[in-house]
Amino acid sequence: MGKIKKHVFVLLLVVTAIVGCDEKPKAVISNKPSFVLVKMPEVNADSVFGFVQQQVDFGPRIPNSVAHDKCANWMVKELMRFGLEVQEQKSVQLAYDGKNLKFRNIIARFAPEKKKRILVTAHWDTRPWADQDSENIDKPIDGANDAGSGVGVILEIARLLSQQAPNIGVDFVLFDIEDYGKANGTFCYGSQYWMKNTLLQPNLPAFGINLDMVGDPDAVFPYEGYSMEYARPVLDKVWRVANNMGHGRYFQNVQDGAITDDHLYVNKAGIPCIDIIHREPNTGSFAHSWHTHDDNMNNISKETLKAVTETVLQTIYREK
């Protein structure tokens, strides 16, 4: 009786092994939705770079200067050429040093009739002094990265919207006199003024993206503090887009401190807004050219500009 049981057991093992070898492995089912890029216009890196170059060619865009006026006039014409409705907020701001600064916030709207909208912003003025440099610290800087890069991305997006209309409306705001301030003092005069009267009624954007210093070859964009506080879902959305487009080198999922930038006042206006801004997560420093005379076209990367433009553009075209 014992021997018979043994043979039967061995036979069962052999049969089980044979069946097991013939059985195909089962597919692993994931509940995580796949990420599929949506169709959007092709970003031209030379075009974005050219928009930055044009701003620098005007000279430092500091308030009350000829270059400031010429650049503002040019930006308005470009936005209108791309079919956007443009409004301006013009006024005079008393600065911390007692000077009266003439400023112009430029507001442009694509498809203003559409109810669902998102907002893209940047400041366009430049630092009047190279206070982080070791020489010529009292002279103005070119401001290619701070803030020409963000404006360049916005103008490229505005150009492309006319080629393929997204499902939603898009608002742009170019803030003035962001960089006329002192260390640990008041900055962002233009966005604070705009906060009190956005000119975006009746349909406020669902969320906003602010662009600041987005052109450095070695740019790193961390999770900025106020962005996490006010608009964490927007951060996650945009960074997911960037990483799925292969731009994770720039858009890094590391937490950073809070930065007083224009997006803070967009948030205070009731629009959840994030800040795409270059800051080294290990040192807490901005781009090496920040507020120095090295902030010129030699330190602007077409690849970085294209990566940021593609990320924001894909975010726009994914909205429904």
In a domain, 35, yes or no: no
Range of the domain at 297: 43-318
- DSSP one-letter code for 248: T
Is residue 104 included in any domain, yes or no?
Answer: yes
Q: What is the DSSP string of 126-168?
A: --SS-TTSSS-TTS----IIIIIIHHHHHHHHHHHHTTS--SS
- pTM for the model: 0.89
- Residue pLDDT, tens place only, 100-129: 999 999 999 999 999 999 999 999 999 999
Banded model confidence at residue 33, pLDDT cuts 50, 70, 90: low
Label residue 201 by pLDDT band (50, 70, 90): confident
pLDDT tens across 150-167, in order? 999 999 999 999 999 999
Enumerate residues 6+ apart whose C-beta is below 8 A from 48.
152, 153, 155, 156, 302, 305, 306, 309
Closest CA to 274 of 318, 317, 241, 302: 241
Residue 10 lies in a domain: no
Query: Is residue 207 one of the residues assigned to a domain?
Result: yes
| Total domains, the chain | 1
Q: How far is the C-alpha of 262 from the C-alpha of 99, rounded, in Å?
A: 21
**pLDDT at position 282:** 77
CATH of the domain at 89: 3.40.630.10
Average of per-residue pLDDT across 265-282: 94
Residue 54 domain-assigned (yes or no) = yes
Does 142 reside within a domain?
yes
**Taking all residues of the chain, what is their mean pLDDT, rounded to a whole number?**
91
pLDDT value for 202: 87
Distance of alpha carbon 86 from alpha carbon 110, whole angstroms: 9
Residue 270, in any domain of the structure = yes
What pLDDT was estimated at residue 13? Answer: 40
Q: pLDDT tens digits, residue range 38-69?
A: 999 999 999 999 999 999 999 999 999 999 99
The β-bridge partners of 94 are 100
* Residue 24 placed within a domain: no
| Residue 30 reports pLDDT greater than 50 | no
